């Protein structure tokens, strides 16, 4: 087998066929046939691998020592407790001998990755609405995975532990921490915006009632799933990239998908998604919604300001930028 190395992404670097075979051998997954780079994805952790036993995704160079073990926990839980299609088995190899880093091999999920089909013309209006509705359905199914407490994975304990404070305090702190950090990079997050955000947070938090701790992916968006039309109905056939998951408020995962559609100018799809998900208490949901938007958008705002690679061309402050996501219309909810 050729030991010539080919570059598959900036992050993964150069990999030989022989290394792929050794990785497959770790889990008795047959003889290596080919590997293909994956064009989509922000960080270049993944590569498609085909063997005599099937099609797989090899995931490498973890962002953190805990990444793959955390992802495995949530993939296992979703597979065991829900009908959400996740990559399973999620096979983690902690030995770094082959590549110099830990890696995962998981089944390749069949379907269209929406980042491969960016052109709106590739889908009819009915297709787009059907996909948005399928996303609402799969989120509702994922949230059948519940817990007795709000919390997240702890690497040292190798299990999910409760937050030291309650969920409200943890959630509020995260928003303000990201905004304070963003303010250190430029002048686009002034003190007045931080004060405004604090008031919005407190008002929305007052609407948070007792809830069942629910699976919270945090990165629930089109590029982290594949879809397929089956029997004239669109379905999510794969959900993946579970690194940021935890247990929290069920409505929190609505915000990123909603924001993705709003920034594309597809308000119709944003509401198709939410209405299929169907929040239980619409009035309460509308009042709480700014909290979830501020949390999600503060993550994005911090990232793009830290990297100095904003996707917008306007000289917005945080308050001006996030305003486009806050105007949810209760008359369009059902």
Using CA atoms in the order 141, 221, 170, 147, what is the torsion angle rounded to 10 degrees? Answer: 20
Q: Which residues pair with 106 in a beta bridge?
A: 57
Q: Are residues 90 and 183 in the same domain?
A: no
Q: Which residues have C-beta within 8 Å of that of residue 194, sequence separation ≥ 6?
A: 176, 179, 180, 183
Q: Count CB atoms within 10 A of the CB of residue 228.
A: 17
Q: Are residues 69 and 194 in the same domain?
A: no
pLDDT recorded at residue 308? 78
Which domain CATH number covers 46?
3.30.200.20
User: Residue 45 in 3-state DSSP?
Assistant: coil
Q: Are residues 222 and 157 in the same domain?
A: yes
Return d(Cα 46, Cα 51) in angstroms, integer: 16
Tally of domains in the chain: 2
Q: Are residues 209 and 325 in the same domain?
A: yes
Q: Are residues 207 and 88 in the same domain?
A: no
Q: Are residues 158 and 283 in the same domain?
A: yes
Q: Are residues 242 and 287 in the same domain?
A: yes
Give me the residue label for tokens 């306007």: 314
Last residue of a domain, one of 61, 88, 107: 107
Q: Are residues 147 and 88 in the same domain?
A: no
pLDDT recorded at residue 315? 86
Q: Are residues 165 and 20 in the same domain?
A: no
Which domain CATH number covers 180?
3.90.1200.10
pLDDT recorded at residue 178? 97
* pTM given for the model: 0.93
Last residue of a domain, one of 43, 75, 107: 107
Q: Are residues 84 and 159 in the same domain?
A: no
Q: Are residues 125 and 265 in the same domain?
A: yes
pLDDT recorded at residue 1? 65
pLDDT recorded at residue 313? 75
Closest CA to 56 of 73, 36, 39, 76: 36
Q: Are residues 86 and 132 in the same domain?
A: no
pLDDT recorded at residue 113? 87
Last residue of a domain, one of 107, 130, 157: 107
Return d(Cα 295, Cα 200) in angstroms, integer: 11
pLDDT recorded at residue 2? 64
Positions of E strands within the chain: 5-9, 13-16, 32-37, 46-51, 54-60, 91-93, 103-107, 112-113, 151-154, 159-162, 214-216, 225-230, 233-239, 246-248
- Burial (CB count within 10 angstroms: exposed 0-12, middle 13-18, buried 19+), residue 232: exposed
Question: pLDDT tens digits, the chain, 334 residues: what are they?
Answer: 667 889 999 999 999 999 999 999 999 999 999 999 987 666 889 999 999 999 999 999 999 999 999 999 999 999 999 999 999 999 999 999 999 999 999 999 999 988 765 566 788 999 999 999 999 999 999 999 999 999 999 999 999 999 999 999 999 999 999 999 999 999 999 999 999 999 999 999 999 999 999 999 999 999 999 999 999 999 999 999 999 999 999 999 999 999 999 998 999 999 999 999 999 889 999 999 999 999 999 999 999 888 877 777 778 999 999 999 998 999 999 8
Q: Kindly calculate the radius of gyration of the chain based on its CA atoms and give it in whole angstroms.
A: 21
Name the residue range of residue 64's domain.
Answer: 5-107
């Amino acid at each position: 087998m050729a030991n010539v190395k080919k570059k598959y992404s900036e992050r993964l670097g150069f990999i030989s066929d022989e290394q792929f075979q050794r990785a497959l051998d770790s889990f008795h997954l047959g003889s290596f046939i080919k590997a293909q780079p994956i064009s989509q994805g922000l960080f270049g952790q993944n590569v498609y691998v085909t063997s005599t036993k099937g099609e797989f995704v090899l995931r490498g160079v973890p962002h953190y020592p805990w990444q793959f073990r955390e992802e495995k926990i949530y993939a296992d839980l979703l597979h065991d407790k829900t009908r959400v299609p996740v990559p399973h088995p999620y096979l983690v190899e902690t030995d770094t001998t082959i590549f110099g880093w830990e890696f995962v091999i998981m089944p390749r999920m069949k379907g269209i990755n929406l980042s491969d089909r960016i052109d709106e013309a590739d889908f009819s209006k009915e297709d787009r609405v059907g996909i948005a509705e399928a996303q609402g359905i799969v989120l509702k199914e994922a949230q059948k995975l519940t817990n007795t407490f709000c919390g997240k994975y702890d690497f040292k304990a190798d299990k999910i532990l409760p937050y030291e404070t309650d969920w409200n305090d943890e959630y509020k702190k995260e928003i303000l921490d990201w905004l304070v950090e963003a303010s250190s990079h430029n002048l686009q997050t002034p003190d007045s915006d931080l004060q405004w955000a604090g008031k919005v947070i407190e008002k929305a938090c007052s609407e948070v009632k007792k809830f069942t701790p629910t699976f919270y992916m945090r990165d629930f968006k089109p590029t982290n799933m594949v879809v397929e039309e089956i029997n004239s109905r669109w379905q999510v056939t794969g959900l993946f990239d579970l690194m940021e998951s935890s247990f929290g408020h069920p409505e929190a995962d609505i915000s990123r998908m909603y924001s993705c559609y709003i920034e594309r100018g597809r308000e119709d799809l944003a509401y198709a998604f939410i209405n299929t998900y169907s929040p239980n208490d619409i009035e309460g949901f509308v009042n709480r919604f700014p909290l979830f938007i501020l949390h999600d958008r503060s993550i994005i705002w911090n990232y793009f300001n830290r990297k100095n690679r904003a996707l917008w061309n306007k000289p917005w402050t945080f308050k001006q930028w996030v305003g486009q996501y806050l105007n949810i219309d209760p008359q369009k909810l059902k």
